[in-house]
Structure 1
């Protein structure tokens, strides 16, 4: 049984030794870890250098054909390479994978008119991931995808992680962010149910980039992934449940 860890782009540049120690400990206990990552800050840097706009809608990065080259370079060539190198340097054997290669993440367009070259995951080639795991390595997946027609698309990393976890029937998924979990009215929540989340989205208490995170988390719960958390590097943030637990 594997465990998916999604690392946000803004968190990647500030990963501390305790995070790597915790991962190593989990691997030594026999857990099979799969990492999916974003790369927001690096993408922003590349877009700015190229004089291209930074545009977000509903927590999703609008990706034009022009900006797609910057996204690919930032996610795969820079962020993925750097993370794999750091993992290996910290004693964790890792192998970089790009979701757009070998049909790892096959996509349709999410909504081309509104978001451009952004994908909605249709299929995950789990065999590629399992082969890396069986070789004793941690797969590190850059959140890009490819359409049936061979077009590369950007994928929201939270969505890519959720779909990957579901396809692998993962035991757990942890969305590692630069916040200590989900905040509602200024308070960090220890736990939330699906109905709590929907209510707080409607009321505007959960918004922006947190929306695709909680939506990906809900999908994981719907697909019976046992443990779903949104956390910081302590891995002890907000746990999400389908419904209120009766004790």
Structure 2
């Protein structure tokens, strides 16, 4: 299947996604492309953990996941947040199906470091036939990043990693990271295209700063030989053209020099 666009929506941006954003995703589908949404839910998870008085900590940017934390994350991601996104797409005129990585063994995972991180996994395979079947039915898959292993044990999966794995296995045309700005800004203008080398220079000179730094680093880590461009776009406004093309900053992989984080 061609023209697949994997859209990763971070938990911090989910609540702020505009009606226009969801209409843009529906318009993208109606133009002949096949969008897939992978979402996080960190702030909502934090709120429920605090309400339930369950302690949580991060190790190297990943949430240490005990059984209690996993139960809470699964409740929020697969329940509340997932269905909010599905409902928003419906209200925008589209048809969507909410899934977790456990449904149809969509995301088979293995633990990253159980001793240090607990129930945190990384994808090792994707049930692409399930996704293509749904897209053939003109459904927009909305995926919560909870996966499982061969024994049926559930694991929390970083949404960036889940989106990258899905994009790679489906040989997606594009992977999009949705944030709260139009893209990478320089002198007040959104850059259309940047290379890994330019990003390194922009971080060094302060053009890229603050919360954009981890976003661009995460984007760079997803680049592979088959997926050589990643886009950062704004979820608060309409950034999809009439032909279904996404508008923002495209990050391109280059072979001359690898980005070092």
**TM-score class normalised by the smaller sequence:** 0.7 to 0.9
> 1:8-41 deviations in whole A, cap 9, x for unaligned?
1121111112212221221111011111111111
**By how many angstroms is 1:200 displaced?**
7.6
Q: CA RMSD in A?
A: 2.9
Mark the runs of 5 or more structure 2 residues left unpaired by the alignment.
Answer: 240-246, 257-261
**By how many angstroms is 1:188 displaced?**
7.2
- Number of paired residues? 243
**By how many angstroms is 1:210 displaced?**
5.3
In the other structure, the counterpart of 1:61 is 63
What is the alpha-carbon distance in structure 1 between the residues aligned to residue 65 and residue 194 of structure 2? 32
Q: How does 1:1-247 map to 2 (within 5 A)?
A: 1=2, 2-181=4-183, 191-196=193-198, 211=214, 213-214=215-216, 216-233=218-235, 234=237, 235=239, 236-243=247-254
Stretch deviating more after TM superposition (66-75 or 200-209): 200-209
Q: Secondary structure at the match of 1:3?
A: strand
> Structure 1 residues 42, 194: closer, same or farther in 2, change over 3 A?
same
What is the alpha-carbon distance in structure 1 between the residues aligned to residue 160 and residue 64 of structure 2? 15
CA contact 2:26–2:89 (8 Å) conserved in 1? no
Q: Secondary structure at the match of 1:150?
A: coil
Q: TM-score, normalised by structure 1?
A: 0.86
Mark the runs of 5 or more structure 1 residues left unpaired by the alignment.
Answer: none
CA contact 1:59–1:209 (8 Å) conserved in 2? no
Q: Secondary structure at the match of 1:102?
A: helix
